[in-house]
Amino acid sequence: MAPFKNILVSLILALPAFAACGAALPSSLTLRANSRLPDPFTFYDGTKVTSQNDWACRREEINQLFQRLELGTLPPKPASVTGSLSGNSLTVNVSHEGKSISFTASVQFPSGTAPFPAIIAIGGSSIPTPSGVAIINFNNNDIAAQDNTGSRGRGKFYTLYGSGHSAAATTAWAWGVARIIDVLETIPSSRINLSRLGVTGCSRNGKGALIVGALETRIALTIPQESGSGGAACWRISDSMKSRGVNVQTASQIVTENVWFSPLFNQYVNRVNDLPIDHHLLAGMVAPRGLFVIDHSTIDWLGPESVFGCMKTGTKVYQALGIADRMGVSQVGGHNHCQFPSSQQSELNAFVDKFLRGNTAANTNIVRTDKANNAGFVEANWVNWTTPTLS
């Protein structure tokens, strides 16, 4: 197995060269009904993933599928991105095709010696702030509003790209986080260690955190908290729970509530089995970087079975790459939504230690739920493919 740095570098270098990987996705997709969770290790054209280089290509294919079917288009870095850091306020200025926006993010620096690792908090953080780690508070609603379904096309992202742009609010947030990192890269005295960046958020902002981590490869550690359907849950499993009478959020409901997903997704919400993607693949897109999924086992709306099963399936990508300890899942109940339980503190510490502080010995072998019988998840009902060893 190649060292982490080599895997990461080879993966990132491979991403822009997707067309060189082989046949590109056709302009018109042929969707085939599949009631199981789609195989991460089979390309759209049926070719098998047999190496880490193949996975780099498959990861980018999955990225394109998510953008075409669920998330909308993520624009590349605009021609002009500038900014400054004054005290605790980071200013980002962006210009695109004659239009300009500015937005700010507040930075809470810890005491100690810089440069500091940092966690970008989507809409604020509800996990305990780790010692020695800076917190960058990102006002995601300023970039793309999420008040209700009437929020579509509102926010500074759409000022630049137009109210009819296909990007979901969550995709626009990923774009905003990327611009924050762009600016930090231009400020040598920022006191932020740009190789040690994390992202977190809870509930609706937890959905955003997972999507940010999947789309933005400069994030070293992704920590979605209690993100439910549209985040760490799989659409298919949530639909199955709903059919059994569980009051769980589903794809068909979520598009009637808010603008977290692209209008492109609307046509699939009542036929999610037709999709060649589900959110175990979103988790797989984070690999080989760190991913720690914090979840709640006793709030039906969040879909505990769906989240645990979906993310346990997502760990198979990490297993295939020989880095199983870089993705963890911890599901604990008995507390209020987005209230961080002390029983998960040591697990959070371990992931922060490994990915933000560089302690490679930290024990991050964590896949657990406090709910009986794997929270109801029966793998044989959802996984009909095998996990290869990718060299």
Task: Yes or no: say if 266 and 72 are a contact pair by the CB < 8 Å rule.
Answer: no
Q: Let me know: does 307 contact 331? Beta carbons within 8 Å.
A: yes
**Are the CB atoms for 90 and 105 separated by under 8 Å?**
yes
What is the pairing mode between strands 134-138 and 290-295?
unpaired
Buried b (16+ CB within 10 A) or exposed e, 116-129: bbbbbbbbebbbee
Q: Which two tokens stand for residue 10?
A: 């080879």
Tokens of residue 391, six digits: 């060299």
Identify whether 279 is a catalytic site residue: no
The count of other CB atoms within 10 Å of the CB of residue 365 is 9
Q: What is the largest CA-CA distance in the chain?
A: 57
Please give the Cα distance from 207 to 60 (Å, whole number). Answer: 20
What residue type is assigned to position 74 of the chain? L
3-state percent helix, strand, coil for the chain, nearest multiple of 5: 40, 20, 40
The verdict on whether 100 is a catalytic residue reads no
The amino acid at residue 318 is Y
| Spacing of C-alpha 386 from chain mean position | 24
CA 197, CA 306: separation in Å to the nearest integer?
Answer: 28
Tokens representing 46 are: 């049926």
Amino acid (one-letter) located at 57: C
Catalytic position from the list 203, 262, 297, 306: 203
Q: Catalytic residues, which ones?
A: 203, 337
